[in-house]
Amino acid sequence: MQPVDAIIFDVGKVLYQWDIRNLYAKLIADPAELDHFLGNVLTLEWHDQHDAGRPLSEMVAELSAQYPDHAALIAHYVPRWLETIPGPVPGMIDLVERLALLGYPIFGITNFGVEFWAMFRPTAPVFDLFQDIIVSGAEKLTKPDPAIYRLAIDRFGIDPARTLFIDDRAENIEGAIACGLQGHVFHDAETLYADLAARGTLELTSN
């Protein structure tokens, strides 16, 4: 196992919890109706267009025209989007702060739309500790496209073989490893602490 000189974090479901259901459970009382709405109308696949760079105004107008009976619900998505993020993933903000104190350069690669990133970034001061963050919507590149990892390697000025990328999706880690980075499929802070300790990156526990 190669030493680690720098660390790259994903954001959603690694540093911060995220689920569209957190918002719409407040708006749709019937569980079956909620499941149908999120599974067939306002879906993750629809949301992912914004991560790839599509403007929200176009997306919302198109979806509302396609599902006029749900237009009132769809209209809540953008202005109340921060309600899809209930808070940090337990233990992870503390971990980032510890790594920063130890002097590790910290970066980010996130599938995130630019408009939602502009809403979210001011609420999360932990990113002040990051040297740079690649936001997919700004670059119009999404993980696991190899181009986004190559961009990160060049822009961050890192040695990929000595850089650990942490993401909750196995396919994103596989894409990063194929571009020469080290990878960790994130499950929880405790497992990540153990991996970092095994790599000699942390000489401390999560407690």
Phi and psi, residue 185, nearest 5°: -80, 115
Residue whose C-alpha is closest to residue 142's, from 111, 119, 114 = 111
Identify the residue with better confidence: 204 or 83.
83
Round the average pLDDT of the chain to a whole number and report it.
96
User: Taking the CA atoms of the chain, what radius of gyration do you get in angstroms?
Assistant: 18
User: Helices H, strands E: what count in the chain?
Assistant: 11, 5
Q: How far from chain centre, in Å, is Cα 96?
A: 15
- Give the residue-averaged pLDDT of 128-149: 97
For 6-17+88-198, the fitting CATH number among 2.130.10.10, 1.10.10.10, 3.40.50.1000, 3.40.50.300 is 3.40.50.1000
| Separation of alpha carbons 75 and 173, rounded Å | 34
The tens digit of pLDDT for each residue in 78-130 reads 999 999 999 999 999 999 999 999 999 999 999 999 999 999 999 999 999 99
The C-alpha angle 186, 188, 189, rounded to 5 degrees, equals 105
Domain ranges of the chain: 6-17+88-198, 21-84
**Six token digits for residue 30:** 């019937």
The tens digit of pLDDT for each residue in 6-15 reads 999 999 999 9
| Separation of alpha carbons 82 and 85, rounded Å | 6
* 8 Å CB contact between 39 and 100: no
Tell me: pLDDT of 204 over 70: no
**Six token digits for residue 120:** 């979210």
Q: What is the pLDDT of residue 175?
A: 97
Q: What is the pLDDT of residue 203?
A: 66
Q: What is the pLDDT of residue 14?
A: 98
Tell me: pLDDT of 169 over 90: yes
Report residue 190's pLDDT band, with 50, 70 and 90 as the boundaries: very high
The tens digit of pLDDT for each residue in 27-83 reads 999 999 999 999 999 999 999 999 999 999 999 999 999 999 999 999 999 999 999
Tell me: pLDDT of 207 over 70: no
Report residue 3's pLDDT band, with 50, 70 and 90 as the boundaries: confident
Identify the residue with better confidence: 2 or 118.
118
The CA-atom distances, in angstroms, between 91 and each of 68, 77, 83 are 42, 28, 21
Tell me: pLDDT of 177 over 80: yes
| Separation of alpha carbons 151 and 142, rounded Å | 11
Q: 3-class DSSP state for residue 131?
A: coil
- Give the residue-averaged pLDDT of 147-162: 97
Q: 3-class DSSP state for residue 158?
A: coil
Q: What is the pLDDT of residue 206?
A: 45
Phi and psi, residue 134, nearest 5°: -90, 120
